Amino acid sequence: MSADFLSNMVQSVRPSATIGISQLAREKKARGDDVIILSQGEPDFDTPAHICDAAEKAIRDGKTRYTAADGIPELKEAIRAKFSRDNGLDYSSAEINVSPGGKAVIFNAFLATLNPGDEVIIPAPCWVSYMEMTRLCGGNPVIVPCRADADFKLSPEQLEAAITPRSKWLVLNSPSNPTGAVYSAAELKALGEVLKTHPQLWVLTDDIYEHLVYAGKFATLAVVVPELKSRILTMNGVSKAYAMTGWRIGFAGGPEPLISAMRKIMTQSTSNSSSVSQWAAVTALNGPQDFLENWRNVFQERRDLICRALNGADGIKCTPPPGAFYVFADCREALKKRDQTDLKFCEDLLEATGVALVPGTAFHLPGFFRLSFASDTDVLRDAADRICDFV
Ligand code: GLU
């Protein structure tokens, strides 16, 4: 195949670093190497039994056919109930989208709205896919580097300065992947004041880590600034909260015209998310929620353990993140000593110790690495020992 058979678009897009590194590590492991994969953000818990039972029942009951492209009514109802119960947000079922994963929600929303040259404002450090998805959909990502001493959060002044007549979306991700930063209601309100004065700008709030907040309180823009709800897409999913990453169910609430445009794209692309996964998600959202708190407590213990251990490593510094399950560690001193970049550091670390991490460069902040602490404490202790020895 000649190189120009591939589209210019796909040639300009970078593959996902989180997926790439984790795949590399899995292959190493399959070859028999002693590998610890802390590069992919997924809970190590099994999907709870009552959710698996619901999926099994769906299969037995013949719920194995096409469904409405953007979700079965029962799941839309469960999502409406979730938004109401957890957030105090009211959406009609025509304002709900179900896509095969949170990523697909974002992709469908961007594809439905971006014209060539439209800008998407992305505060950084940011998850690896916002920028590339923007480009895949023809838009221009506008990365706004946020300051470490502001906990990597976007300030109203930075937002104002980033807005141009071509700005179409702002992406807000709280708790944040990779930093774990959590925006308070007051901080969202301040951003909201700026947004109110720019009526062409919409906001995608990626709330996928909603249930993993250790300090402070989760807040989402559509609740804090209801006047903006008519131009907010509130995105979430069952992956991280219910340990259902492989089931691929993401969802969003937003204005009906956008939801309907996203549905049109789905009718011509993926069609529906897996019918069985949708029934499992109904049970996840409608079933018992008490285990979420236990899981959060487990994550918090792991967070504290790994932060203590990493702070004992030569040239590595980290503060316990208030949310999500990532430590975004400053390894600039260690890099200086080794005279290498974060990319090379992570490559060498994997080669020498078998620990897979993601370099900060993938999240638009070199000099750092991201470690997912969604693993057992013994595994984390072992990984920390290996990292300490390595540096
Ligand atoms: N969101 C997770 C991560 O950042 C899963 C992998 C991905 O989709 O990027 O590791």
> Per-domain residue ranges for the chain?
3-46+291-390, 65-286
Which residues contact residue 377 at a Cβ distance below 8 angstroms, ignoring those fewer than 6 apart? Answer: 301, 302, 305
Tens-digit pLDDT profile for residues 44-58: 999 999 999 999 999
Ligand 1 binding pocket mutation candidate from 40, 99, 207, 370 (most atoms within 8 A of CB): 40
236 φ, ψ (degrees, to nearest 5): -160, -175
Say yes or no: CB of residue 16 within 6 Å of ligand 1.
yes
The pLDDT of residue 4 is: 87
Asked whether residue 191 carries a pLDDT value surpassing 90, the answer given is yes
Which is nearest to 370 in space by CA: 2, 32, 37, 68?
37
Atom of ligand 1 nearest to the CA of 208: 1
* % the chain with pLDDT above 70: 100
Strands in 161-245 per DSSP E: 167-173, 202-206, 232-237
Tens-digit pLDDT profile for residues 99-153: 999 999 999 999 999 999 999 999 999 999 999 999 999 999 999 999 999 999 9
Distance (Å) from CA 260 to ligand 1 centroid = 27
* pLDDT-based confidence at residue 3 (cuts at 50, 70, 90): confident
Distance (Å) from CA 287 to ligand 1 centroid = 26
Tens-digit pLDDT profile for residues 334-371: 999 999 999 999 999 999 999 999 999 999 999 999 99
Distance CA 183, CA 152 (A): 10
Distance CA 13, CA 379 (A): 34
Say yes or no: CB of residue 127 within 6 Å of ligand 1.
yes
Distance (Å) from CA 40 to ligand 1 centroid = 6
Ligand 1, atom 3, residue with closest C-alpha: 41
Placement of tokens 């040639």 in the chain:
11
Say yes or no: CB of residue 39 within 6 Å of ligand 1.
no
Distance (Å) from CA 346 to ligand 1 centroid = 17
Atom of ligand 1 nearest to the CA of 40: 10
CATH 3.90.1150.10 fits 3-46+291-390, yes or no: yes
Distance (Å) from CA 202 to ligand 1 centroid = 24
Which is nearest to 346 in space by CA: 36, 12, 31, 30?
36
Say yes or no: CB of residue 177 within 6 Å of ligand 1.
yes
385 φ, ψ (degrees, to nearest 5): -60, -45
Residue 103, Cβ density class (10 Å: 0-12 exposed, 13-18 middle, ≥19 buried): buried
Mean pLDDT of all residues belonging to the chain: 97
Placement of tokens 């930063």 in the chain:
181
Mean pLDDT of all residues in 64-74: 98
Ligand 1, atom 2, residue with closest C-alpha: 41
Please state whether the peptide bond connecting residue 178 to the residue before it is cis, i.e. omega within 30 degrees of 0.
Answer: yes
Which residues contact residue 316 at a Cβ distance below 8 angstroms, ignoring those fewer than 6 apart? Answer: 310, 329, 330, 331, 333, 334, 387, 391
The pLDDT of residue 2 is: 81
* Pair 78, 282: CB distance under 8 Å: yes
Strands in 84-139 per DSSP E: 96-99, 119-124
Ligand 1 binding pocket mutation candidate from 107, 129, 240, 247 (most atoms within 8 A of CB): 129
Distance (Å) from CA 127 to ligand 1 centroid = 8
Sort strands 96-99 and 250-253 into parallel, antiparallel or unpaired: antiparallel
Please state whether the peptide bond connecting residue 175 to the residue before it is cis, i.e. omega within 30 degrees of 0.
Answer: yes
* Domain 65-286 in the same topology as domain 3-46+291-390: no
Which is nearest to 134 in space by CA: 32, 12, 300?
12
Query: Which comes out higher in pLDDT, residue 204 or 9?
Result: 204
Q: Which CATH architecture has domain 65-286?
A: 3-Layer(aba) Sandwich (3.40)
Distance (Å) from CA 74 to ligand 1 centroid = 28
Atom of ligand 1 nearest to the CA of 129: 9
